[in-house]
Amino acid sequence: MQYKKTKLNQVKRGHKKAAYDKKTIHAILDATEICHIAFIYEGRAMVQPINFGRKGEYLYIHGSHQNRMTQALMDAGQITLSVMLLDALKLTRSAFHHSVNYRSVVVFGKVKELTNPEEKLLGLKTIVNHFVSDRWAHCRTPNDKELLATRVLEIKIESASAKIADQPNSEHKKDLDLDYWAGQIPVKQVYGEPVSASDLKPGLEIPEHVLAFCRRGETQ
Amino acid sequence: MQYKKTKLNQVKRGHKKAAYDKKTIHAILDATEICHIAFIYEGRAMVQPINFGRKGEYLYIHGSHQNRMTQALMDAGQITLSVMLLDALKLTRSAFHHSVNYRSVVVFGKVKELTNPEEKLLGLKTIVNHFVSDRWAHCRTPNDKELLATRVLEIKIESASAKIADQPNSEHKKDLDLDYWAGQIPVKQVYGEPVSASDLKPGLEIPEHVLAFCRRGETQ
């Protein structure tokens, strides 16, 4: 299954790195904690990082009712967001060919505010379980007051594209004989040992869903 | 030295996490490989990740002359960009109080295209040395053809703000007695051992500037 190529999501530069299949795009979204959301505020393009969750063709974010970003998204009714995982720094003999290996996704979607408490709870559950798998089952669910205090936005993915750079360095043949070192520095995001809260109730151990998450070792 | 607080850069939500001093903001920018740039394309807010460099109050990015982002930035004459370093996942007893520790910066700037070859070279040097410190001295500098093929944009930082969340979990007192585990999972970006290119000229070793970069261990 692929996202349809439109003028918006079709990759123009580096089109050989482009992917439109849903499996690839969803996997990159699921491996990422933070997305960057674009919005317009008083005529100016703005960008803000935020955590999110995905369930099928829907993404969920939440924020305060006073937040200018969530208000701008509601006013526009649409959203553009981007995620990126950096995988390697590519050091070439020529300054010009320095590059990175990465996996990125851009999503174009329609935005709807969830107002039904049951739908809001499902949106928040998706966000918390995207954070750490199965986390929702191991914490107190939001009460009515908390639900009222937060705004939950549902994003229907309308189109999307991925760019994946995972190749060896690219250089001009005539540069290969230069006396400069070339290679790649791998980059990854790792999780450390979980640290229990200082006010943890005696007798509680680090639960299996947290240990399993940390065993993933990195965000992929 | 502080960036002046304006309507644009003043942090409204979580203002206790806000910082406006240049030293803090520059340090976060310098610890980050990738920024996310907002721009407007056909009336729609867009966002794209890209690498960059910083020298004093100026940031530099580069791209193709055909790139819709660099064109949109030139048309607007201004830019908003954001960087974020994720430091910890904060798992609380209540779903509602889950959060992250992080360091983020948003920059508002004026954009100018560099056309003088000497200025373009300095911009590219700043980008390459932001990538890996001192890298420019250890690779071939761009030739005239390469300089013509790329567009270098100079961003004058007009205002900026940082948000730094580095605190223990925050929870309601009445939740502390629940039988749920709470704590933090540290997150960091690490660099692996550098991998030499398969077509490396015999006799070339991994140079000290690359080893020193990898010894940093993480992006801070």
CA distance A55 to A6: 23
Segment (H or E) for B154: strand B150-165
Q: ∠ at Cα B219 (B214, B220), nearest 5°? A: 115
How many A/B residue pairs have CB atoms within 8 Å?
A: 275
Identify the pLDDT of residue A219. 46
Cβ atoms of residues B83 and B36 within 8 Å: yes
Kindly list the residues from chain B whose CB atom is less than 8 angstroms away from the CB atom of residue A213: 185
User: Is residue A174 domain-resident?
Assistant: no
Burial class (CB in 10 A: 0-12, 13-18, 19+), B170: exposed
The domain in which residue B119 lies consists of: 15-187
A91 with A195, same domain: the answer is no
Neighbours of B193 (CB within 10 A): 10
Residues A160 and A68 both lie in one domain? yes
**Residue contact A201–B186, C-beta within 8 A:** no
Contact B91 A135 (CB under 8 A): yes
Answer whether residue B117 is part of any domain: yes
A168: helix, coil or strand?
coil
Residues of B with CB below 8 A from A77's CB?
A: none
> Are A48 and A140 in a shared domain?
yes
Say whether B183 and A196 touch across the interface (CB within 8 A).
Answer: yes
List of chain B residues whose C-beta atoms are within 8 Å of the C-beta of residue A80:
44-47
Q: Which residue of B has its CA nearest to A120?
A: B96
Give CA angle at B137 (B135, B139), nearest 5°. 75
Residue B218 covered by a domain: no
Contact residues for A61 (Cβ-Cβ < 8 A; gap 6+): A35, A37, A50, A51, A52, A70, A127, A152, A153, A155
Give the mean model confidence (pLDDT) for residues A38-54.
96
The verdict on A66 and A152 lying in the same domain is yes
Neighbours of B79 (CB within 10 A): 27
Q: Give per-residue pLDDT as tens, B18-76.
A: 999 999 999 999 999 999 999 999 999 999 999 999 999 999 999 988 889 999 999 99
Q: Which residue, among A144, A181, A199, A209, would best test binding to B if mutated, counting the most B CBs under 10 Å from its CB? A: A181
> Which residues lie across from A19 on neighbouring strands?
A162
User: Does B50 reach chain A within 8 Å, measured CB to CB?
Assistant: no
Average pLDDT, whole number, for chain A?
95
Which residues does chain B have within 8 Å of residue A138's beta carbon, measured at their own beta carbons? 180-181
In the numeric block, which tokens belong to residue B48? 């794209």
Helix or strand run (H / E) with residue B49:
strand B44-51
Q: Is residue B199 in some structural domain?
A: no
- Please judge whether B48 and A106 are an interchain contact, meaning their C-beta atoms are less than 8 angstroms apart: yes
Report yes or no on B196 lying in a domain: no
Mean pLDDT across chain B, nearest whole number? 95
Say how many domains are in chain A: 2
Residue at B104 is within a domain? yes
- Domain identity same for A30 and A62: yes
Mean pLDDT of B4-8: 89
Same domain assignment for residues A143 and A218: no
Is there a single domain that holds both residue A19 and residue A53?
yes
- Residue keyed to tokens 């943890």: A200
Interface predicted TM-score (ipTM) of this complex, two decimals? 0.95
- Residues B181-205 have pLDDT tens digits of 999 999 999 999 999 999 999 999 9
Task: Check if B16 contacts A (Cβ < 8 Å).
Answer: no
Structural domain includes residue A149: yes
CATH number at residue B112: 2.30.110.10
Alpha carbons A220 and A218: distance in angstroms, whole number: 6
**Closest listed residue to residue A161, CA positions, set A1, A16, A13, A22:** A22
State the best of A101, A105, A141, A185 to mutate against chain B, taking most chain B CBs within 10 Å.
Answer: A185
Q: Is B108 left (phi over 0), alpha (psi -120 to 50) or beta?
A: beta
pLDDT band at A40 (very low <50, low <70, confident <90, very high): very high
Residue A204: pLDDT band (50, 70, 90) is very high
Contact A98 B169 (CB under 8 A): no
Q: Which residues of B touch A197 (CB under 8 A)?
A: 168-169, 182-184
Say which residue, B6 or B88, is predicted with more confidence.
B88
Q: Which two tokens stand for residue A7?
A: 């003028």
Same domain, A126 and A70: yes
- In whole angstroms, how far apart are CA A114 and each of A27, A51, A111, A167, B95? 25, 17, 10, 42, 18
Task: Provide the pLDDT for residue A52.
Answer: 98
Say yes or no: A218 and A109 in one domain: no
HSE-CB at B154 with a 13 A cutoff on CA atoms is 17
Whether residue B208 is contained in a domain is answered as no
Residue B74 contacts residue B113 (beta carbons within 8 Å): yes
Tell me the average pLDDT across A181-194.
96
Q: Is the pTM of this model over 0.80?
A: yes
pLDDT at res. A158: 97
Backbone phi, psi, residue A139, to 5°: -150, 170
The model's pLDDT over A95-122, given as tens digits with 9 standing for 90+, comes to 999 999 999 999 999 999 999 999 999 9
What pLDDT was estimated at residue B219? 47
Average pLDDT over residues B174-183: 97
B194: distance to nearest CA of chain A, Å?
4
The verdict on A64 and A142 lying in the same domain is: yes
Alpha helix (H) ranges present in chain B? Answer: 22-30, 68-76, 117-131, 144-149, 208-215
pLDDT computed for residue B217 by the predictor = 58
Q: How confident is the model at residue B216 (pLDDT cuts 50, 70, 90)?
A: confident
Q: Is it the case that residue A208 has pLDDT exceeding 50?
A: yes
Are residue A77 and residue A121 in the same domain, yes or no? Answer: yes
Cβ atoms B9, B106 nearer than 8 A:
yes
pLDDT of residue A65: 87
What are the DSSP E strand ranges found in chain A? 18-19, 34-41, 44-51, 53-55, 58-64, 78-91, 99-114, 150-165, 183-191, 195-196
Q: Does A6 touch chain B (CB under 8 A)?
A: no
